[in-house]
Structure 1
Amino acid sequence: MSTAVADKRPSSTLRGASLPKWSPYAIAVGSVAVAAGIGLAAGLDSRIQWGLIAAILFVLGTYVISARVEGRRQAKDRVATSLVWVAFLLALLPLVSLVWTTVSRGVKVLDIYFLTHSMGLISDTEPGGGIYHAIIGSLEQVGLATVIAAPIGVLTAIYLVEYGRGNLARSVTFFVDVMTGIPSIVAGLFILSIMLMFDMQPFGFAGSLALAILMMPVVVRSTEEMLKLVPNELREASLALGVPKWRTILKVVLPTSIGGITTGIMLAVARIAGETAPVLLLVWGNSLINSNPFEGAQQSLPLYIYQQYQNSQGSGAAYDRAWAAALTLIAFVMILNMVARGIARWKAPKTGR
């Protein structure tokens, strides 16, 4: 009898009313529609202004509707989530606009001929030509800079994390921080001063040295953070078995963090791949193919883009070549990031069940 009476009692719940899952999308659509109406009525031509009005209406609408249905506390939580989404979209818009503009303007002359021919004897005002010589120069200059900076940066980070104590470690950390903020033109001027001392002519390897200076602090900082993420228990377990510290670093610490280290190096490569000022000072550029980075002026993709756009006056064949080279440079950086992710997954430590 008591059980039957208990079953007839209304069940209590701690959950209040809540908005359906599709409500944020509906509020967003409504905000965009209202913003478009306000923009048309006010005579606003800029779509950016429409977007800002829609973002404000979205946040306000979310708060008002959620406060009436779910209460002020839940409304504040939804407003915080809405602000995060609005900030994400605002940060995404310039990137999407940049990629769209580069792709739409760069595909006009980007083809196999463009990628496999140099400028040769073609002037900047004439159609034709390509970026083969610039691709070779960029690959050699960035590759040599990576060969120089990556080992030095990784070894420096290992010293700071595993061995660094006292004044020397603090001095190294200080200079790494200073180098992180050095403008690229300063690195180029430093190498240029050395070249002038020895009466040297522009050549590709000089640009690689300047790029290596810019790359090293990025590699040091990223590698240092990755090494700090390795649990100390792994080091202690290896040392407890009698393994020397250098072998522990080589066989335990580095394999555990190799994915992050590789990603950091690739990010540093992407950082220097678009530098123009050091190459302009030290390499000068060349319309012909020069595959020897240790002799003679050499071209690179960023310098090619700068020179073509400078000589284009905002239109013409040089203008199209500049955008096509910019698209190629973006694709080059994307390929580097994809390679980094592939290496990181390949070299990541495998954990068994």
Structure 2
Amino acid sequence: MTDVTLDKSPVDEAPAPTTGPLRQPRLPNWAPYGIGALSVALGCGIGLVAGLESRIQWGLIAAALYVVVTFALTTTVEGSRQARDRLATSLVWVSFLLAVVPLFSLIWETVARGSKVLDGTFVSHSMNGVITLQPGGGAYHALVGTLEQIGLASLIAAPIGLLTAIYLVEYGTGKLSKAITFFVDVMTGIPSIVAGLFVLAFWIIYLDMGYSGFAGAMSLAILMMPIVVRSTEEMLKLVPNELREASLALGVPKWRTILKVVLPTAIGGITTGVMLAVARIAGETAPILLLVFGSASINTNPFDGAQSSLPYYVYEQWKLGNEASYDRAWGGALLLIAFVMALNLLARGIAAWKAPKSGR
């Protein structure tokens, strides 16, 4: 037999490629925490050496050092592309902390100072007959005024805002709808003091009706209405048009379709929007200062005579300028924060309860 030698192709003769690292070097997972600790230490050291007394300045120096050190280390180890990504991430985290730290500081200060006086006596007694230089008294009269004024404002603003939103979504066309939308947008941005001045000029000066909780409630209703309109309008727009068309195809009148189909579908979002609007007006101070006039005793009639509220109570006690009144002001502020927080939690609970369940 004759041996046949096969020539190898150039591909077969090519040397095998050299293998390199499949992954680029990366910083360890603990690197952000280590850089953060180092930045805090350097920020405190620079603040001490420079004689900076404000801890806020120390924190700002530490935040700047964290961003710079992270970018420099990442550029050295991982490359410029990963460094830009880390830079963006660092800026997001630093901005988040700069926004959250003042919030937690405010809550901590209010709880620490207000908890000294916030007890059963504080929420069940008024300031009638209490010497302002001495401890004692409470915010019961202000709590009653706040609840009545917010309740009246909700009774005024919620139906008007709901019906306005229904008109804009279901019926509104042409110039009238555009004009209403424009004025709702304008009312959303007006300062609260403008609403108070309007009610003061019309209700108290022109009609000579006197200071009362109802006057304050009307100004709060003006501020609440555009929020209710906007939130309700967005919830109604989320209702699928197929539901409306199916109801109309069965011969159901349009008003009954809105009442029986559209509103029940969007009721969760509408309720949440109303509750958030209530929480928005609960802490308004400027119109209350102009319209309710303030009172140290309990006035359960919002239509007759001066009345107090929690924002006015905080302002009034702080203005007195003594240690006991400062404590009562912090207690009123803590009570107001707790009230607004309860309203927000209630709104979120309603939204979660009314949300459609998956798998049905």
Residue 183 of structure 1: CA displacement? Answer: 1.9
Q: What is the CA-CA distance between 1:83 and the residue it aligns to?
A: 0.5
1:215 alignment partner, one of 220, 224, 227 = 224
Residues 30-109 of structure 1 mapped to structure 2, 5 A cutoff: 30-109=38-117
Per the TM alignment, residue 28 of structure 1 is displaced from its structure 2 partner at its CA by 1.1
5 Å-filtered alignment, 1:191-230, equals 191-195=199-203, 196-230=205-239
User: Greater CA deviation, 257-266 or 217-226?
Assistant: 257-266
Structure 1 counterpart SS, 2:305: coil
Once residues 158 and 23 of structure 1 are traced to their aligned partners in structure 2, the CA distance between those partners, rounded to angstroms, is 54
The residue type equivalent to 2:338 in the other structure is A
Task: Give the partner amino acid of 2:174.
Answer: G
How has the CA–CA distance of structure 1 residues 36 and 288 changed in structure 2, closer, same or farther, with 3 Å as cutoff? same
Structure 1: any 5+ residue segments left out of the alignment? Answer: 1-7
Match of 1:280 among 289, 300, 307: 289
Deviation at 1:248, TM superposition (A): 3.8
- CA separation in 2, counterparts of 1:289 and 1:141? 14
Change (3 A) 1:297 1:75: same
Identity %: 69
Residue of structure 2 equivalent to 1:338:
345
Structure 2: any 5+ residue segments left out of the alignment?
1-15
Q: Aligned residues, how many?
A: 344
- Tell me by how many angstroms 1:22 deviates: 2.4
Change (3 A) 1:321 1:79: same
**Aligned-pair distance for 1:68?**
2.0
CA distance in 1, matches of 2:122, 2:19: 73
Quote the offset at 1:240 in angstroms.
4.9
- Answering whether residue 179 of structure 2 is matched by residue 168 of structure 1, we say no
Look up the equivalent residue of 1:319 and give its one-letter code. Answer: Y
Match of 1:323 in 2: 330
Note if contact 1:130-1:321 (Cα within 8 Å) is conserved in structure 2: yes
Matching residue's letter, 1:206: A
Is contact 1:285–1:298 with CA below 8 Å preserved after alignment?
A: yes
Contact 1:256 1:349 in 2 (8 A): no
Partner Cα distance (1:183, 1:54) in 2: 37
Q: Does 1:190 align with 2:233?
A: no
Larger radius of gyration: 2
Match of 1:28 in 2: 36
Cα distance in 1 for residues equivalent to 2:220 and 2:185? 17
Of 182, 189, 194, the residue aligned with 1:181 is 189
Q: Measured at CA, do residues 238 and 65 of structure 1 come closer, stay the same or move farther in structure 2, by a change above 3 Å?
A: farther
Q: Distance in 2 between matches of 1:93 and 1:191?
A: 38
Please point out which of 142, 157, 162 is paired with 2:165.
Answer: 157
Is the alpha carbon distance of 1:12 and 1:223 closer, same or farther for their aligned partners in structure 2, counting shifts above 3 Å?
A: farther
Q: 1-side partners of 2:89 and 2:244: how far apart?
A: 41
Distance (Å, rounded) in 1 between the aligned partners of 2:247 and 2:38: 61
* Distance change >3 Å, CA 351–CA 290, structure 1 → 2: same
| Structure 1 residue 15 displacement after superposition | 4.3
For 1:272 and 1:94, locate their aligned partners in 2 and report how far apart those are by CA, in whole Å: 22
CA distance, structure 2, for counterparts of residue 13 and residue 177 of structure 1: 59
Given the alignment of the two structures, is residue 121 of structure 1 paired with residue 129 of structure 2, yes or no? yes
Determine whether 1:110 maps to 2:114. Answer: no
CA distance in 2, matches of 1:240, 1:219: 31
- Corresponding position: 1:259 with 2:268: yes
Q: Distance in 1 between matches of 2:273 and 2:105?
A: 26
| Residue 306 of structure 2 corresponds to residue 297 of structure 1 | yes
Q: Deviation digits for residues 73-116 of structure 1, max 9, x if unmatched? A: 11111111110111111111211111111111111211111110
Residues 11, 157 of structure 1: CA spacing in aligned structure 2 closer, same or farther, 3 A cutoff?
A: farther
User: What is the root-mean-square deviation of aligned Cα atoms in Å?
Assistant: 2.2
Which one is further off, 130-139 or 340-349?
Answer: 340-349
- Check whether the contact 1:259–1:344 (CA below 8 A) recurs between aligned residues: yes
Distance 2:18 2:334 in 1: 66
Counterpart position of 1:130: 138
Distance 1:19 1:243 in 2: 66
Decide whether the 8 Å contact of 1:258 with 1:348 is kept in 2.
Answer: no
State the TM-score, normalizing by the size of structure 2: 0.89
8 Å contact from structure 1 (residues 255, 347) kept in 2 = no
Determine if contact 1:258/1:344 at 8 Å carries over to the other structure: no
Normalising to structure 1: TM-score of the pair?
Answer: 0.90
Which residue of 2 is the match for residue 147 of structure 1? 155
Taking the aligned partners of 2:109 and 2:166, their CA distance within structure 1 comes to: 42
Deviation per CA, 1:126-159, whole angstroms, max 9, x where unpaired?
3211011110110000011011111211221222
Whole-Å Cα distance in 2 between the matches of residues 348 and 250 of structure 1? 19
Once the two structures are TM-superposed, the CA of residue 236 in structure 1 deviates from its matched residue by 4.3
Q: After TM superposition, give the deviation of residue 307 of structure 1 in Å.
A: 0.9
